[in-house]
């Protein structure tokens, strides 16, 4: 075990894949896609795979992990995020008084300029520290699989860090029709589109070839055209052809702001969903993030094409915008859960998605605790075309979480899943296993020097904030 600092080039010391048994007071499984809560069961794991789930106790001599009153859950899937942004912007957009339109100004006056500044000014080891902090946040927040979209160039550290920390992840390098943009006096972006420039897509293909399937299949790459208003038809058609040629997934931000809808309608005479359908991008291999301004007809189109959605409710709630999960899942669309650039805590994200859906539908039983966990496990796995993820069953990957219910806020236990989702937090997780490796045990990550990572990543973020203040990025954006 290596608790030394992980400076540039340093190693974290990944724990080995183990043959062991995890004994749970309750084990959440799915039978025919319906929840089945097993009482006092043992999950057997060997070489990164679940080999059985049975009521019997492990034989003497077998390595066993058992906690008092524990709930064993499938590892959850964060279907859309930007972990660098989560760390860089922590506390900045919260409560910020952007003039309307809030989300458009957040994206183009804060997130993208500060993101570009981060990309241009931080040294490789500083970006690495921020990625480490982000992935640690993701894992401790209950996600064992992460889909993360980032600037091209981040691949230089992203996959190495993921390999070291033990997370399962898909990286999506952003591809745009304009590498740079200017912000006009109205606060809106001006893009200098280069319709036939395929250099970003070519680089993304290079990332795919270099990293997809790496670390025993723990690493993956998804093609990530940024959004309908930043990608011209020539590029989106090329992305579709490239993804088909590689049998790869695609992810895109879709119908995120009214300004995006207006820009796309002005250019092409179609709304963003219609535009994506016209260039052949919709389909079961596409994960569309947000879809806030999708019309009811658009939802029918997304359902017909079996496009999946990543719902990120907190990210929009910050701006007073409700994006209820139930609107999309209720339309029959495969709707998973993402955290976007907010904190990476999946319990918090699920609970908020639940409350907001209940408020939207004015209905108590919509978005139940089990519906929410299902969205973050089975549905996310389906969007990733990974039937071996999001479930505790023989043959599935050994990605799981154990929550301890022996805590005052979770007692007494009538239904452990309801208790965890509606009353618990990610701090209640005591064990996290990914690919058969024990990443966290007794609430600690012994192979990861967490304090060191936090200190260095905070210093890297502070460096960008200082530069941003000097250059007026922050003061212009936030009042």
Q: For binding to Zn ion (CB under 5 A), which residues are involved?
A: 340
Radius of gyration of the chain (CA): 22
Handedness of CA 278, 282, 287, 293 (dihedral sign): positive
Report the residue number, 340 or 371, with the smaller CB distance to Zn ion: 340
Strands (E), 176-281: 181-183, 189-191, 219-221, 224-225, 250-254
CA 418/CA 424 separation, integer angstroms: 9
CA distance 125 to 103: 31
Token pair recorded at residue 189? 């972006």
CB of 342 to Zn ion, least distance (A): 10
Residue among 140 and 342 whose Cβ is closer to Zn ion? 342
DSSP one-letter code for 397: B
CB of 294 to Zn ion, least distance (A): 16
| Distance of alpha carbon 249 from alpha carbon 159, whole angstroms | 18
Using Cβ positions, the residue closest to Zn ion within the complex turns out to be 340
**The pair of three-digit structure tokens given for residue 179, joined into one six-digit string:** 């590498």
Choice between 260 and 340, CB closer to Zn ion: 340
Instruction: Identify the CA nearest to 242 among candidates 175, 299, 295.
Output: 175
**In 127-230, at which residue ranges do the beta strands (DSSP E only) sit?**
143-150, 168-175, 181-183, 189-191, 219-221, 224-225
- Minimum distance, C-beta of residue 341 to Zn ion, in the bound complex (Å): 7
Of residues 167 and 227, the one with the C-beta less far from Zn ion: 227
Q: What is the H or E stretch that residue 27 is in?
A: strand 20-31
Nearer Cβ to Zn ion, position 70 or 149?
Answer: 149
The string of DSSP letters for 221-242 reads E-BEE--TTTS-HHHHHHHHHH
DSSP letter (8 states) at residue 223:
B
CB of 221 to Zn ion, least distance (A): 17
Closest distance to Zn ion from the beta carbon of 192 (Å): 22
**Minimal distance in Å, beta carbon 80 to Zn ion?**
6
CB of 422 to Zn ion, least distance (A): 27
Q: Which is nearer to Zn ion, 30 or 170 (CB)?
A: 170
Q: Strand 70-74 relative to strand 400-404: parallel, antiparallel, unpaired?
A: antiparallel
Please say which residue, 252 or 421, places its beta carbon nearer to Zn ion.
252
Q: Residue 126 or 340: which CB sits closer to Zn ion?
A: 340
Which of residues 29 and 169 has its CB atom nearest to Zn ion in the complex?
A: 169
Q: For residue 296, what are its two tokens?
A: 């009811």
Helix (H) or strand (E) holding 298: helix 296-304
Distance of CA 55 to the CA centre of its chain: 33
Contact 55, 41 (CB under 8 A): yes
Nearest distance in Å: CB 377, Zn ion: 21
Task: Tell the smallest beta-carbon distance from residue 110 to Zn ion (Å).
Answer: 14
């Amino acid at each position: 075990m290596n608790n030394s600092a992980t400076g540039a080039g340093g190693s974290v010391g990944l724990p080995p894949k183990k043959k062991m048994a995890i004994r749970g007071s309750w084990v959440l499984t799915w039978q025919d896609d319906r929840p089945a809560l097993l009482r006092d069961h043992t999950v057997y794991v060997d070489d990164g795979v679940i080999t059985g789930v049975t009521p019997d106790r492990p034989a003497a001599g077998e390595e066993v992990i058992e906690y008092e009153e524990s709930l064993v859950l499938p590892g959850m899937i964060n279907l859309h995020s930007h972990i660098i942004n989560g760390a860089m912007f922590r506390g900045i957009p919260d409560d910020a008084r952007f003039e309307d339109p809030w989300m458009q100004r957040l994206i183009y006056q804060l997130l993208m300029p500060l993101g570009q500044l981060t990309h241009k000014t931080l040294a490789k080891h500083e970006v690495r520290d921020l990625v480490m902090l982000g992935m640690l946040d993701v894992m401790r927040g209950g996600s064992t699989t992460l889909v993360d979209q980032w600037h091209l160039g981040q691949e230089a550290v992203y996959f190495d860090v993921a390999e070291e920390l033990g997370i399962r992840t898909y990286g999506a390098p952003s591809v745009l029709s304009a590498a740079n943009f200017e912000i006009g006096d109205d606060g809106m972006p001006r893009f200098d589109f280069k319709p036939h420039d395929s250099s970003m897509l070519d680089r993304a293909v290079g990332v795919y070839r270099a990293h997809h399937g790496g670390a025993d299949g723990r690493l993956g790459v998804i093609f990530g055209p940024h959004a309908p208003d930043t990608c011209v038809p020539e590029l989106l058609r090329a992305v579709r052809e490239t993804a088909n040629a590689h049998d790869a997934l695609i992810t895109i931000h879709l119908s995120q702001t009214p300004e995006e809808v207006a820009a796309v309608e002005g250019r092409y005479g179609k709304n963003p969903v219609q535009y994506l359908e016209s260039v052949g991008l919709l389909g079961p291999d596409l994960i569309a993030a947000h879809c806030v301004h999708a019309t009811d007809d658009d939802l029918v189109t997304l359902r017909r094409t079996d496009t999946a959605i990543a719902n990120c409710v907190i990210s929009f709630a910050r701006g007073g915008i409700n994006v209820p999960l139930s609107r999309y899942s209720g339309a029959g669309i495969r709707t998973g859960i993402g955290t976007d650039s907010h904190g990476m805590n999946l319990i918090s994200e699920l609970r908020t998605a639940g409350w907001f859906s209940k408020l939207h539908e004015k209905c108590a039983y919509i978005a139940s605790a089990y519906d929410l966990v299902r969205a973050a496990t089975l549905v996310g796995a389906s969007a990733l075309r990974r039937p071996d993820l999001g479930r505790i069953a023989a043959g599935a990957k050994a990605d799981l979480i154990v929550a301890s219910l022996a805590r005052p806020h979770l007692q007494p236990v009538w239904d452990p899943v309801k208790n965890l989702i509606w009353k618990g937090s990610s701090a209640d997780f005591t064990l996290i296993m990914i690919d058969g490796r024990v990443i966290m045990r007794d609430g600690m990550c012994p192979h990861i020097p967490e304090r060191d990572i936090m200190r260095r990543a905070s210093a890297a973020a502070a460096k960008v904030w200082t530069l941003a203040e000097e250059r007026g990025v922050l003061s212009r954006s936030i009042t």
